[in-house]
Structures are given as structure tokens and as C-alpha cells.
Amino acid sequence: MASERVHAALPDPPSQSEEENKEEEKAFGNIFAEIEFVDLPLGTTLRSIYDDQPNAHKRFMEKLDARIRNHDREIEKMCNFHHQGFVDAITELLKVRADAEKLMGQVTDTNRRLQEAGREVTAQTEEVIRCRIQQMNMATTVEKLQLCIPVLEMYSKLKEQLESKRYYAALKTMEQLEKFFIPRVSQYRFCQIMAENLPRLREEIKEISMSDLKDFLESIRKHSDKVGETAMRQAQQHRTFNSAVAKQASMGHYTKPLYSLNGRTQTHNGLMMDEDTGDEDEADEEILTAQDLVDFSPVYRCLHIYTVLGDRETFENYYRKQRKKQARLVLQPQANMHETVEGYRRYFNQIVGFFVVEDHILHATQGLVTRAFTDELWNMALSKIIAVLRTHSSYCDDPDLVLELKNLIVIFADTLQGYGFPVNRLFDLLFEVRDQYNETLLKKWALVFREIFELDNYSPIPVDTEEEYKLVVSRFPFHDAEIEKQQDFPKKLPMSQSVPQIYTQVKELIYASLKFSESLHRSSTEIDDMLRKSTNLLLTRTLSSCLQNLIKKPHIGLTELVQIIINTTHLEQACKYLEEFITNITNVSPETVHTTRLYGLSTFKDARHAAEGEIYTKLNQKIDEFIQLADYEWGMAESDGRASGYLMDLINFLRSTFQVFTHLPGKVAQTACMSACKHLSTSLMQMLLDTELKQISMGAIQQFNLDVIQCELFASSEPVPGFQGDTLQLAFIDLRQLLDLFMVWDWSTYLADYGQPTSKYLRVNPATALALLEKMKDTSKKNNIFSQFRKNDRDKQKLIETVVKQLRSLVNGMSS
């Protein structure tokens, strides 16, 4: 009907050509297709109809009506085709309706009965379902517990490890918990609590391990002394063992052992043998090592802990810093260390213990300390050790202590050298210590020499029997053909008892110097040179100084000086035997190019010369003492007719003294005798010309002449053999010519021959004659000594005045 209304409203379309109709039909067919089959909005389609061309909508409506009518016809045709089938189906449905109602009743009844019968089954089914749910829950719980139980067991294990202080294992357990166990059950709260506690536990472990490390550092600081003592004792035993092996080397082939700190010794052929300590009771005793004396587990544990925690560098820096501080403390000596050898031993033990521990840490750990670090510590320590030893050894004045110090330094150096530390500077230091040792020896031997000189009686050694003679000769190389020819005892050896004692002490010093040279790893030539230099220092410095001081002592008289000269002569002759003694010790030929010679010859020569000079001085002093006893009466009228008492005593003293000089070399005795006579002559001349002496009488001149005659007689008696002719008398020639001039009163000859080489009074100086004549002139004026002459012979008085004038003119001529 709608199509009819549309059709009634549209006018009849105008006639068109057949082609246009086809195109139009085609266009409208597309539009209808879009309207019928497309679900999109129709606005665009309808707009295209109205906007296409005028009256297009009218034609569209017409086409639409035609299409509707066409569809209606098709619908009607289809309904007519299916109507009979529909009717038949309704009829059949009505027949089935009654059966369906009956079936419905039966089904309802069956359902009712089924429901009533299934109520019990339903209840049992629900119970089964509930049990099944519980069973599933239990299985799930068991499954989850099986996942949680290992975590709880590991955590419990962690607690036990912490309680038993097995921190490294605890860290490993923590690591397993974090990586494997906790991630499996991380959804549970207790696991979250565990995970939160693990970092705190790690920090606690770090703090505890660091505390253990601090305790360890404090412990090794206390145990370093014991560790070092053990290491040095082993090094000393090893050195002793090697010395014993060297002595037995000539008995057969022997494999030299290599030193080991593990209590055993490995030979070069790889066999292992126990180290022999030389004591049967200690032969089986196990040698302790640093690991035996110190528990290093805190270091290993702390190192592993910090390594696991990824903080190894912090631990290494802390450990090295603390050890450096401890090294500085160890290297600080006690103020009184130099007083006893135990002070040095404790000092060395602590240092050795420190570096033994560091060496063990170096080899037992991977990188906690490095060789560069230990070398740095050692170089720092070595400089400090050398400075300390230089300072403290300079305080030592006991050679035995210095020698023990040297032995300790050698053992100290050998011990550390065995651990790979360079010790060349320590052996260089020993040369400085050797100089200090020599100084202390010289000081000690100076006291020995002084004591020997003080106890010496300065008289020849008496020997009553042949045994005594052999005893002296065994101590001192004395050889004298004349004494050896004498068969009878007692005998007297020319030197005093100090000579063999000094010779023995020189040998003792050589032995003492040799002790220091032991274990210095020096050649025989170097040791020979050391011994000779030490002996030279003893002779040229110590013994020479002691001799010089002895000679200068006031209580040493002429007899003692003579004996000293004799002693030095024999000691000088014994120097060659000292050289042979050193050669026998070192087996170094004295003809070697660089061999040092002994300077003892010059020492004893200088001492002898000093003694000779002192003899001359003391002899002159003794003469002066006698001269001071002179008591001339310068105004006496005539002489006593005999020489003065003081002069006769002086001459007797000189005679007895020069008899002692017979043991001296000839030139020494002759020089002493000539020096004494000259000094006596000079002293007598000075007595005459003394400015405080204002007047002299002719009687005094005569008395003085008698004394000079006695001096001349003494000189002519040859108190010391070896003078030729009247050589000794010439010492008094000045006095003799002066006195002859006044005694003879031969002024005319003196004045006439003055200046002539053949003058009788050639040695009389005008000034001397004038001075003496003035004294006699003053006497004639004041005391009228020449009054008789003035009365009897006035010409002689004028002669005196004339002589005085001429002498003055001679003196003035000499001065101008």
C-alpha cells in the first residue's frame, strides 16, 4: 500500500530514450542496493539523489514504487507456495500438544522422585567435595612447606654458625639464602623479614671480624718477641750446623742442607732430614714456626669475609695501615737499650717477629700484602734500624757488649736474609760498629796498659830457674845469645816485667779484633787488613799515648826512664813477631801488595825519643836542684882549698847515674852525659853573671875555680865510654878560659889577641869579662879588698880601669 501511495503521488515520467533509461536504471539500482544491503547511514545516499539533477527525486520515487511492488509480488508468491505446509505443521503440532502435556507430567514426577532420591547423594557429594578441597589445601600446604622448610633450616643453620663464630660459613649461607632459597618463597612475610635482616647480619659479621682482627693485631704485637726469638735461634742453629758441616767436609762428601723454618731441612738432592741442634735432648724437638706461635685464623677469616662482602680493598688498606703503625712502634727502641745485650736482643726479636709474620701473611694470602708493600716496610725499617744502632752503639763503652751486639746484628741479618729481605746495608753498618768496637777496645786496653805501667817495678826481670826463663820466653820472643850462653841461674833479663805483659795484651787485642771479624763474610785479606789496622791503632794511639803519659809523670825518675828506653827497644824488636802472628792467623802473606804494615816501630822510636828527652830534662832538673844548694861566700878573702860540698855531691850523683846508663845505647848515654855537662857549665856561668850578684872577691873566684876543676876532672874520667879525646871537657871551656883570665890576670894577652883565631882566650866574651870585672871592681871600692894593692902598686889599679875602658869599647864595637 505504501508503494501505491507513492505511485499515486508521482506524475508519469516523461519519455526518454532507451539508453538513458538503462543508465538511469543502473544508477538507481546501485542506490537501492546501498539502501537494502548497506548498514551505513543513508544521508549521503539520499543527498546524492536530490542533489544530482532537477526532478531526480521524482524519478527515484517512481523507481522505488516499482521496486516495492516487485518485492510485494515476490512475497505473495512465496507465501502462497508455503501456506499448505504451514497449515499441515500447525495440525501436527496440535496433535503433539496432548502428548507433550502428558510427557511433561511424567518428567515432573520423575524429577520429583529423582530429587528426593538424590538429596542424600548430594549431601555425600558435598562432603566429598569438601574433603577434596581440604585434601587439595593440605597438598598445597605441604608443597609450600616443603619450599619453606629448607629456607627455615638454612636460616637456623645461619644462626648456629653465627653463634659458633663461623662467620665465613655464615656468609656463604646468607648468599645461598639470597640467591636460591628466599626467591622461591619471597611472597611470605617471614621471608621478607629474613631478607631485611641479612644486611644487618652482614654488618654485624664485619664488625665482629674487624674486632677479631684488632685482637689479632694486638696479639701479634705481643708475640712478635717470641716469634723473632724463635726465628733467630733457628738461624743461629743453622749457622752452627753449617760450621760443623764445613769442619767435616774434609772427611767425605756431604750435602749441604738448605735452611727451612718448618722444622726440617731439605738437602740439595731433595731428601728431607731433621735439623740437628747439637743437643741430644733437643734432637727430636720439633722446631716451632710462626704459625705454631700465632693463630692467623682471624686474618684469614676477616680477609675471606671482606672478600665475600665485596669490601676486600677496605680490609687491605686497614690492615696495611695498622701494620705500618705497629712497625713504627716496633722500631722505637727503649731509652736504655744500649746498657745490656738483652735490650738489643729484645729489639731485634720484635723486628724479626714482625717481618716473619708479614712474610707468612705474604705467602699465605692472596694479595693482602704484596712484595712491594713488605719491601717498602723493610726499607723504612732498615733506615730506622741503622739510625738507632748508630746512636745507641755510640753509647757503648764495653767491647764485650759491642761484640755481642755485632753477633746479634749478624744473626739478625742472616735471619731476615733467609726470608728474602736485602741486608747489605746492615753488613755495611757492621764496619761502623767495628770502628766503635775498636774504639772501645782501645779504651779498655788503655786502662790495661796504665795498670801494667803502674804495677811495673822498672827493673830487669830476675829468673831463678830454667822453668821461669822458659815461661818468660814463651810469653815474649826474647833472644839474647850472651844470656842464653849463661848456664847458671839466677839470670836477669834486660827488660822489665811490663814488656811480656804488653806483648801478651797486644796479642789479646788481635784475638779480640779477630772475634769481630768472624761471620762477616769477608775474605782473609780483608780480615788481615782489619787486624793490622786495629793493631796499628793500638800501637800508634793507645800504647803510644800511655807511654808518653808515663814518661811525663813526675814520679818517673831517671832509672825508670832508662828502663822504659830498654823496654821500648825490645818491644820494637818484637813487632816483626806480631806481624808473623797475624800472618799465621789469616794465612795472608806479608808480601801481598795491599798488606798493611805495622807502625809499631815508629811508636816505640817516638816513645824512646821522648824518654831520652825526658832523661835530659830530668837530669838537668836534678843538676839545678844541686846548684840551688850552692852557698858561695862571694866576699871571701881566700878559698877553702877544697871543692864545694854541693858540687861533689852532684858529681857523685852523675857518676852513679851514668853507671845506670851503661844499658842504654851508646849515643843516648853520651848525649845525656854531654847534655848534663853543658847544662852544668851553663848553670855555673849564670851563677857568676847573675845580675843580683853585685860583687865577687878574688877568693870567691879561686873557690869557684876549684869547683870547675872538679867538673873537668869528672869530664876527663870518661863517665860514659865512647868520647874521643877531651870532647867532654870542652863543655867547660868557656868557664875555664874565663877563670884563667882572671886567675892569671892576663889582660894584656886577652886584649892583644882578641879576635884572633889562635887567641888563648878565644871563648871569653868581652861583655862577660866586663860584667865579672865590674863585680870585682865594686868589691875593691866598697870592701877595700884591693887596698893593699892601691898602697903597694897604684899602677895595677890604673890597669884595671884601663881594662874596663877597653872592654867597654869592645862591647860597644860589637853592638854597633
Instruction: Name the grid cell of 339.
Output: 746498657
Bridge partners (DSSP) of residue 462 are 492
pLDDT value for 268: 33
At residue 137, the pLDDT reads 93
pLDDT of the residue at 173 = 87
Only one residue has cell 520423575, namely: 110
Q: Beta-carbon neighbour count of residue 15 at 10 Å? A: 6
- Burial label for 288, CB within 10 Å (0-12, 13-18, 19+), is middle
CA neighbor of 505 nearest in space, from 542, 549, 469, 558 = 542
Q: Which whole number is the average pLDDT over 475-493?
A: 78
Residue 221: half-sphere exposure toward Cβ, Cα within 13 Å:
16
Candidate from 65-69, 707-711, 780-784 with smallest mean pLDDT: 780-784
Confidence band (pLDDT; 50, 70, 90) for 68? confident
How far is CA 715 from its chain centroid?
A: 71
CA angle 584, 589, 593 (to 5 degrees): 145
- Assign 3-class secondary structure to 213-264: HHHHHHHHHHHHHHHHHHHHHHHHHHHHHHHHHHHHHHHCCCCCEECCCCCE
Predicted pLDDT of residue 266: 35
C-alpha distances (whole Å) from 301 to each of 168, 171, 210, 365, 605 are 6, 11, 10, 11, 76
Question: What pLDDT shows up at residue 779?
Answer: 58
CA–CA dist 158, 198 (Å, integer): 10
Asked if the model's pLDDT at residue 133 lies above 90, the reply is yes
The DSSP element (H or E) to which 204 belongs, if any, is: helix 189-248
- Least Cα distance to 571 among 597, 549, 539 occurs for 539
Which residue, among 661, 579, 589, has the nearest Cα to 618 in the 3D structure? 661
CA-to-CA distance for 760 and 247, rounded, in angstroms? 86
Q: d(Cα 816, Cα 805) in Å, to the nearest integer?
A: 16
pLDDT value of position 792? 47
Q: What is the mean pLDDT of residues 636-661?
A: 86
Confirm if 35 and 21 have CB atoms less than 8 A apart.
no
Mean pLDDT of 466-493: 80
> Is pLDDT at 54 greater than 80 in this prediction?
no
- How large a percentage of the chain has pLDDT more than 70? 84
Angle at 314 between CA 309 and CA 320, to 5 degrees: 130
Is there a contact between 682 and 627 (Cβ–Cβ < 8 Å)? Answer: no
Residue 265 sits at φ, ψ, to 5 deg, of -125, 135
Structure confidence by residue, pLDDT tens digits, 5-29: 434 334 444 444 667 667 767 777 7
The one-character DSSP state at 759 is -
- 3-class secondary structure, 566: helix
How many C-beta atoms lie closer than 10 Å to residue 533's C-beta? 17
Q: What are phi and psi of 735, to 5 degrees?
A: -65, -45
pLDDT for residue 306 is more than 70 = yes
Q: Quick one: which of 756, 759, 754, 708 has its CA closest to 731?
A: 708
Q: Which of 726, 740, 611, 729 is nearest to 680 (CA)?
A: 729
pLDDT of residue 47: 66
**Could you tell me the three cell numbers for 221?**
704485637
CB 639 within 8 A of CB 699: yes
DSSP, res 274? E
Count other C-beta atoms under 10 Å from residue 628's C-beta.
10
Q: What are phi and psi of 520, to 5 degrees?
A: -90, 5
In Å, what is the CA distance from 783 to each residue of 769, 777, 787, 788? 21, 10, 9, 12
Q: Provide mean pLDDT across the span 271-279.
A: 37
**What is the CB neighbour count within 10 angstroms for residue 163?**
9
Q: Residue range 653-681: average pLDDT?
A: 83
Say what the pLDDT of residue 265 is. Answer: 37
334 pLDDT above the threshold of 80: yes
Identify the band that residue 256 occupies on the pLDDT scale cut at 50, 70 and 90.
Answer: very low
**What pLDDT sits at residue 631?**
87
Higher pLDDT, 238 or 787: 238
Q: What is the DSSP letter of 83?
A: H
What residue type is assigned to position 761 of the chain? Y
Question: What confidence tier does 43 reach under pLDDT thresholds 50, 70, 90?
Answer: low
pLDDT band at 135 (very low <50, low <70, confident <90, very high): very high
No. of helices (H) and no. of strands (E), the chain: 29, 5
Residue that wins the pLDDT comparison between 427 and 663: 427
Give residues with Cβ within 8 angstroms of 423, minimum separation 6: 413, 414, 416, 417
**Nearest CA among 7, 115, 139 for reference residue 61:** 7
Q: Which of 626, 507, 515, 497 is nearest to 570 (CA)?
A: 497
Please report, as a single letter, which amino acid is at residue 816. S
CA dihedral 387, 390, 396, 401 (to 10 degrees): 90
Residue with cell 873537668: 712
How does pLDDT run across 218-248, given as a tens digit for each residue?
888 887 888 888 888 888 887 777 666 655 6
**Can you tell me which residue has the cell 790495661?**
448
Give the separation between CA 146 and CA 143, rounded to whole angstroms: 5
Three-class secondary structure of residue 400 per DSSP: helix
Backbone angles phi, psi at 272, to 5 degrees: -105, 140
Q: Could you report the per-residue pLDDT of 527-581, keeping only the tens digit for each?
A: 888 888 888 888 888 888 888 888 888 888 888 888 888 888 888 888 888 888 8
Q: Count other C-beta atoms under 10 Å from residue 684's C-beta.
A: 21
* 8 A C-beta contact, residue 704 and residue 632: yes
- The distance between the two most distant Cα atoms of the chain, rounded to a whole number of Å, is 235
pTM recorded for the entire structure: 0.64
Closest CA to 323 of 447, 185, 221, 414: 221
Residue 791 has pLDDT above 60, yes or no: no
Residue spans of alpha helices (H) in 661-723: 666-688, 698-716
Confidence of residue 76 (pLDDT cuts 50, 70, 90): confident
Mean pLDDT of the 773-784 span: 64
More confident residue, 450 or 787: 450
Collapse the DSSP code of 493 into the 3-class scheme (helix H, G, I; strand E, B; otherwise coil) and give the result.
Answer: strand
Cell of 604: 816505640
With a cut of 80, say whether residue 154 has pLDDT above it.
Answer: yes
Other Cβ atoms less than 10 A from the Cβ of 700: the count is 23
Residue 73 has pLDDT above 60, yes or no: yes
**DSSP-based helix, strand, coil % in the chain, nearest 5:** 75, 0, 20
**Residues 52, 28: contact at Cβ < 8 Å?**
no
Do β-strands 491-493 and 272-274 pair in parallel, antiparallel, or remain unpaired? unpaired
Cα separation, 172 vs 178, in Å, equals: 10
Distances (CA, A) of 276 to 93, 254, 289: 128, 15, 16
Query: Measuring CA to CA, which residue among 273, 408, 434, 255 is closest to residue 344?
Result: 408
For the chain, what is the mean pLDDT? 80
Q: Is 725 helix (H, G, I), strand (E, B) or coil?
A: coil
Highest-confidence range of 94-98, 127-131, 365-369, 715-719, by mean pLDDT? 127-131
Torsion of CA 471, 475, 479, 484, to 10 degrees: 0
pLDDT tier, 596 (very low <50, low <70, confident <90, very high otherwise):
low
Q: Is 576 exposed, middle or buried (0-12, 13-18, 19+ CB in 10 A)?
A: middle
Contact, 695 vs 775, CB < 8 A?
yes
Rounded CA-CA distance 410/241 in Å is 16
669 close to 720: Cβ distance less than 8 angstroms: yes
Task: Quote the pLDDT of residue 340.
Answer: 85
| Phi and psi angles of residue 630, each rounded to the nearest 5 degrees, phi first | -65, 135
Q: Which of 735, 607, 727 is nearest to 673 (CA)?
A: 727
Q: Say what the pLDDT of residue 683 is.
A: 92
